[in-house]
């Protein structure tokens, strides 16, 4: 079907508000971009307001119906502060919907306040229940109990990925259940690239993809490699503030079967999925991982922590590791290797079937229905 060449008449402008946006790397960023691009392709006037991080990123990009505006930002305590944010929010069209990607203090709270003052409906997009880290973590605890509660509860609609997340925002933050909409993340159709997968005769190739940060618990996976009896190698794809510390850990443990290859995107990332035998996700918590969906679409089995954000999407289509630790992950990897002739084809097929429900065009079609309800 031919896409419209002009914005849809009488439809609201969709203002996507995200603390980060590509080329900054991360799951929230990629979700905001995928949604924005699909909405623009569907004829909506889409305007993204985000932080200009990294500073080499363009301050403004316009492509078709999509405008990305990156504001000058100062980074402090894992948070971007944007002096021009209030002016940018006030300059948005009155006939808008604010789609606020909840991630860090500042942008989301300012956007909620401006929306209330201007009578603009809001869609709060809950990605992950972020926990405190670092010496200033106590500030986040106070914020989550106070201002964040007011911000998320002010949403006309609150989007979550699953029923488990819905229960969390109701019980922890007091969001009214009748305001909650469940909308899963999506996956780019380009990742549906493989229909068969060979079973390794000897060494099993494990893959980790994601940011190298404390929440992802990559050190747990590295330590597990040192305890595995199965012959395996691990490729770590991604970057982040913990990379140097993780490389030092590999050296300390004397592991020669772990390699860091940096960030991969597009075709290069798809090749990583194609050459691996299993994706491993040792996180303590996730929202709804794009990496997990991409791996399943590529027919790559997933071994992941049995925690919120992974279990509800991986149960029955991958291997869940209860009480995640280096020892339990080592045991899961050994068990997967021992039964690989059965598990690899089973999980590859089941994962592809599951991922087929999450193609971005389908997901954004459901989001547009939510916008219609919000606008009315």
Question: Whose CA is closest to 227, among 207, 251, 253?
Answer: 253
DSSP secondary structure code for residue 187 in this structure: B
3-state secondary structure (DSSP) of residue 286? coil
Give every CB contact of residue 178 below 8 A, 6+ residues apart in sequence. Answer: none
Q: Tell me, what's the pLDDT at 232?
A: 97
Question: Whose CA is closest to 149, among 97, 105, 208?
Answer: 105
Assign 133 a pLDDT band (cuts: 50, 70, 90): low
CA distance 279 to 268: 16
CA distance 128 to 289: 10
What are residue 126's DSSP bridge partners? 102
Q: What is the pLDDT of residues 25-48, one digit of tens each?
A: 888 999 999 999 999 999 999 999
Domains and CATH numbers, the chain: 13-186+359-375 (3.40.50.2000), 189-357 (3.40.50.2000)
* Apex 27 CA angle, 113 and 169, nearest 5: 50
DSSP secondary structure code for residue 254 in this structure: T
CA distance 167 to 160: 10
Mean pLDDT of all residues belonging to the chain: 92
Backbone angles phi, psi at 236, to 5 degrees: -105, 110
Question: Whose CA is closest to 234, among 226, 247, 225?
Answer: 225
DSSP secondary structure code for residue 67 in this structure: E
CA distance 107 to 130: 16
Q: Tell me, what's the pLDDT at 120?
A: 97
| 222 Ramachandran zone, left/alpha/beta (phi>0; psi -120 to 50) | alpha
Distances (CA, A) of 220 to 71, 83, 229, 250: 36, 39, 16, 11
Mean pLDDT score, 131-138: 62
CA distance 228 to 217: 17
Question: Whose CA is closest to 299, among 346, 351, 339, 343?
Answer: 351
Q: Tell me, what's the pLDDT at 3?
A: 46
* Apex 288 CA angle, 221 and 77, nearest 5: 75
Q: Tell me, what's the pLDDT at 227?
A: 97
CB 227 within 8 A of CB 335: no
Dihedral sign for Cα atoms in the order 327, 332, 160, 266: positive
Residue 1 has pLDDT above 50, yes or no: no
Assign 10 a pLDDT band (cuts: 50, 70, 90): confident
Q: Tell me, what's the pLDDT at 2?
A: 44
**Can you tell me which residue has the tokens 């303590």?**
284
Threshold 0.75, pTM exceeds: yes
The token pair at 265 is 């995107």
Residue 172 has pLDDT above 80, yes or no: yes
Q: What is the pLDDT of residues 44-93, one digit of tens each?
A: 999 999 999 999 999 999 999 999 999 999 887 678 899 999 999 999 99
CA distance 358 to 310: 15
Mean pLDDT score, 296-324: 95
Q: Tell me, what's the pLDDT at 201?
A: 92
Mean pLDDT score, 120-140: 79
CA distance 285 to 273: 22
Q: Tell me, what's the pLDDT at 335?
A: 98
Q: Residue count of the chain, please give it.
A: 376
Residue 22 has pLDDT above 90, yes or no: yes
Q: Tell me, what's the pLDDT at 307?
A: 93
Question: Whose CA is closest to 189, among 360, 19, 65, 371?
Answer: 360
CA distance 77 to 241: 13
Q: What is the pLDDT of residues 177-231, one digit of tens each?
A: 999 999 999 999 999 976 678 899 999 999 999 999 988 999 999 999 999 999 9
Mean pLDDT score, 326-343: 98
Mean pLDDT score, 331-345: 97
Q: What is the pLDDT of residues 273-288, one digit of tens each?
A: 999 999 999 999 888 9
The CB-side HSE value for 273 (13 A sphere, CA atoms) comes to 29
């Amino acid at each position: 079907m031919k896409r419209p060449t002009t914005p849809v008449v009488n439809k609201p402008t969709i203002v996507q508000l995200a603390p980060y946006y590509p080329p900054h790397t991360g799951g929230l960023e990629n979700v905001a971009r995928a949604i924005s691009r699909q909405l623009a392709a569907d004829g909506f006037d889409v305007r993204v307001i985000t932080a200009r991080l990294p500073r080499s990123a363009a301050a403004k990009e316009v492509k078709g119906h999509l405008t990305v505006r990156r504001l000058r930002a100062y980074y402090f305590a894992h948070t971007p502060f944007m002096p021009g944010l209030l002016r940018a929010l006030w300059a948005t069209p009155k006939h808008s919907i604010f789609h606020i990607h909840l991630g860090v203090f500042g942008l989301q709270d300012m956007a909620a306040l401006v929306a209330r003052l201007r009578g603009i409906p809001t869609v709060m997009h809950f990605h992950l229940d972020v926990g405190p880290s670092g010496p200033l973590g106590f500030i986040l605890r106070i914020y989550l109990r106070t201002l964040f509660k007011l911000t998320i509860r002010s949403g006309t609609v609150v989007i979550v990925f699953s029923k488990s997340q819905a229960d969390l925002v109701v019980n922890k933050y007091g969001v009214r259940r009748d305001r909650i909409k469940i909308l899963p993340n999506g996956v780019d159709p380009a990742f549906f690239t493989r229909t068969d997968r060979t079973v390794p005769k000897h060494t099993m190739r494990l893959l980790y993809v994601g940011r190298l940060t404390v929440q992802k618990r990559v050190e747990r996976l590295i330590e597990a490699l040192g305890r595995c009896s199965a012959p395996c190698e691990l490729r770590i794809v991604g970057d982040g503030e913990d990379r140097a510390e993780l490389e030092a850990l590999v050296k300390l443990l004397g592991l020669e079967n772990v390699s860091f290859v940096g960030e991969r995107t597009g075709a290069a990332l798809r090749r990583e999925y194609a050459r691996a035998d299993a994706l491993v996700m040792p996180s303590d918590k996730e929202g709804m991982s794009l990496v997990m969906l991409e791996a399943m679409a590529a027919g790559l089995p997933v071994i992941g922590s049995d925690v919120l954000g992974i279990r509800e999407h991986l149960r029955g289509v991958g291997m869940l590791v209860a009480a995640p630790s280096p020892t339990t992950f080592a045991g899961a990897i050994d068990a997967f290797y021992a039964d690989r002739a059965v598990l690899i084809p089973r999980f590859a097929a089941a994962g592809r079937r599951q991922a087929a429900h999450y193609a971005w065009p389908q997901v954004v079609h459901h989001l547009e229905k939510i916008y219609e309800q919000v606008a009315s």
